[in-house]
C-alpha cells in the first residue's frame, strides 16, 4: 500500500470520527459513508488526499475533505490536521412551547406557593 492512500476505517479512526477502527468499519459497511459522492460498502476502500467524505451519524452529517493520511490516533488537535471541515451548520433549535408560556419562573425561584399555583392555573385556564 502506498503512503498516499489509507483504508477508510483507519482514516475515520485516526481523524476521531469513530471511537474505534471496528466502529469505523461498521460505518463504512453500513452505507453511512460516501467518498466523492459515491456510497461505499467496504471498510477496505482507500481514501487519498483531496477526497471528500460525507459521513451520516445519528444526529448530524459530517462533510470532510481529506488533507492527509494519518499515522496514528493522536490528540484532537493532531486529528484536525487530517481534514478540512465542510459540514453544514446545525439546524436552529425549534422554539419550545413551554418557553413562551408567560408563567415561566426564573431559575432558582423554587417551587411555586399555593397562591402562585392558583394564579398560574387561572392564567393558563387549567382551573377545575
**Digit-coded pLDDT (tens) for 35-82:** 999 999 999 999 999 999 999 998 899 999 999 999 999 999 999 999
Can you give the pTM of this predicted structure? 0.70
- The residue segments making up the domain with residue 48 are 6-85
Residue 101 in any domain: the answer is no
Sign of the four-CA dihedral 98, 103, 104, 108: negative
Which residue did the predictor score with more confidence, 113 or 98? 113
Residue 57 in any domain: the answer is yes
Residue 73 in any domain: the answer is yes
Report how far residue 116's alpha carbon sits from residue 105's, in angstroms, rounded to the nearest whole number.
11
Give the count of domains, the chain: 1
Contact indicator for 67, 49 with CB cutoff of 8 Å = yes
Residue 98 in any domain: the answer is no
**What CATH code is carried by the domain that includes residue 17?**
3.10.290.10
Amino acid at each position: 500500500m502506498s503512503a498516499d492512500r489509507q483504508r477508510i476505517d483507519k482514516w475515520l479512526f485516526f481523524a476521531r470520527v469513530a471511537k474505534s477502527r471496528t466502529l469505523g468499519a461498521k460505518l463504512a459497511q453500513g452505507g453511512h459513508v460516501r467518498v466523492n459522492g459515491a456510497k461505499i460498502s467496504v471498510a477496505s476502500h482507500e481514501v487519498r488526499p483531496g477526497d471528500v467524505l460525507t459521513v451520516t451519524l445519528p444526529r448530524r452529517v459530517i462533510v470532510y475533505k481529506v488533507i492527509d493520511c494519518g499515522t496514528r490516533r493522536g490528540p484532537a488537535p493532531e486529528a484536525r490536521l487530517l481534514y478540512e471541515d465542510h459540514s453544514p451548520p446545525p439546524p436552529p433549535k425549534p422554539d419550545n412551547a413551554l418557553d413562551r408560556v408567560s408563567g415561566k419562573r426564573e431559575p432558582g425561584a423554587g417551587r411555586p406557593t399555593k397562591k402562585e399555583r392558583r394564579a398560574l392555573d387561572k392564567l393558563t385556564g387549567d382551573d377545575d
